[in-house]
Structure 1
Amino acid sequence: MSNVKILGFAGSLRQKSYNRAALRAAQQLLPQEASLELFDLAPIPPFSEDEEKTPPAAVTEFKRQIRQADAILIATPEYNYSIPGVLKNAIDWASRPYGDSAWSGKPVAILGASAGKLGTARAQYHLRQVFVFLDMHPLNKPEVMIGPAADAFGADGELKDEKTREMIRKQLAALVQWTRCLKQGLP
């Protein structure tokens, strides 16, 4: 596998969100043998089982991009100690209808930025629980939990904290390696 295609998206709809900014930073910190395409979850409507067999165009496109990607990168905020609704909604859409999940077998890494000192630790651990049912393969380490986010990012949204930049760089390199190992059937 020469180039590892990563699909990234943020569980925040806010245009100036730290998580969107972290994904933009990740695009600059990729290993040479990887690419990172970003998907905006804003057009995805609330999930309805009534529509799962004929999903809206935004959902169809999301699932198409997931399937074309070699790996997934999720940037999540943490709301009320857990996963943001917009992120869970997108995950649910892409897993439906039952038997047509786009997630199955995908390597995935999580990073997240939050105002609190713990970054997005609780949301990330909840996401890992969701990955079990989805049959995804999360990267265990390095974990990237950015907090307090206001200290790591400049007013212009640029990631200025060098330690965080280095952690994202290491996480992306590990995700590429993890993806290659899984494609080759190695543990």
Structure 2
Amino acid sequence: MKLIGIVGNNANRSYNRTLLQYMAKHFASDVELEVREIGQLPMFNENLMKAVPEAVTELMTAIEAADGVVIATPEYDHSITACLKSCLEWLSCVGHPLTDKPVMIVGASLGQQGTSWAQTQLREILNSPGINAQVLPGNQFMLSFASQKFDEQGQMTDARTVEFLEKCFGSFQRFVQTNRETQLALA
């Protein structure tokens, strides 16, 4: 199973990047999870749509070739980041690679609430016309106090958190497989 992991911010130090990198290593025997950055994407601008930036085209191609997508979103002022919103605007206006694509939302934050507000907003955006992603219901992995949950090597240190991530990710793998079988049956 080939998955694309999207780091939902452009910060040099990101616990969401650390989370995706951890997932890529931890689940390597089950899936190939390629972590992709969005910091190099230009801010969405309708004036640029005639000549779509190469970074946007590369991301669209990677998503189209993948079986599913994992988006790791931080929470900035109870919302997703501007760069993630801009990325989704590109993906909803050019090529539509997320249409019917299975998507799992995860998030890490420094605070107690995890990324609950951002995940709710992201879920609404991904379900909207123009994007039409197949978002994994439930199984919301929100890592609070992220600075205390990883060691210096990027390994998750809390066994209960790892167990819950494994449960959520197992649900996503089944969701991707069911989606793939449905798409084949409809073809």
Q: CA deviation at 1:155?
A: 4.2
Contact 2:22 2:154 in 1 (8 A): no
- What is the CA RMSD across the aligned residues, in angstroms? 1.6
CA distance in 2, matches of 1:173, 1:74: 16
User: Percent identity, aligned pairs only?
Assistant: 31
Structure 2 portions without partners, runs of 5+:
none
Instruction: Find the partner of 2:54 among 32, 41, 57.
Output: 57
Supply the distance in 1 between the matched residues of 2:9 and 2:162 (Cα, whole angstroms).
Answer: 20
Question: In 2, Cα distance between the equivalents of 1:168 and 1:53?
Answer: 41
Give the TM-score, by structure 1 length.
0.90
Residue 128 of structure 1 deviates from its aligned partner by 0.6
**Residue 68 of structure 2 is aligned to residue 71 of structure 1:** yes
Counterparts of 2:169 and 2:2, CA distance in 1: 11
Cα pair 1:29 1:169 within 8 Å, conserved: no
Question: Are residue 35 (structure 1) and residue 32 (structure 2) matched?
Answer: yes
Q: Which moved more, 1:17-26 or 1:154-163?
A: 154-163
Is residue 31–residue 172 contact of structure 1 (8 Å, CA) maintained in 2? no
For residue 158 of structure 1, report the CA deviation from its aligned partner: 3.1
Considering fraction of residues, name the structure with more helix.
Answer: 2
Partner deviation per Cα, 1:36-82 (whole Å, 9 max, x = no partner): 01111121011110112321110110100010111000111000101
Is 1:115 aligned to residue 113 of structure 2?
no
User: Does the Cα contact within 8 Å between 1:18 and 1:157 map onto a contact in 2?
Assistant: no
Q: Deviations over 1:131-166 (max 9, x none)?
A: 111111111232110111122122454322222222
TM-score, with length taken from structure 2: 0.90
- Cα distance in 2 between the residues matched to 1:22 and 1:15: 14
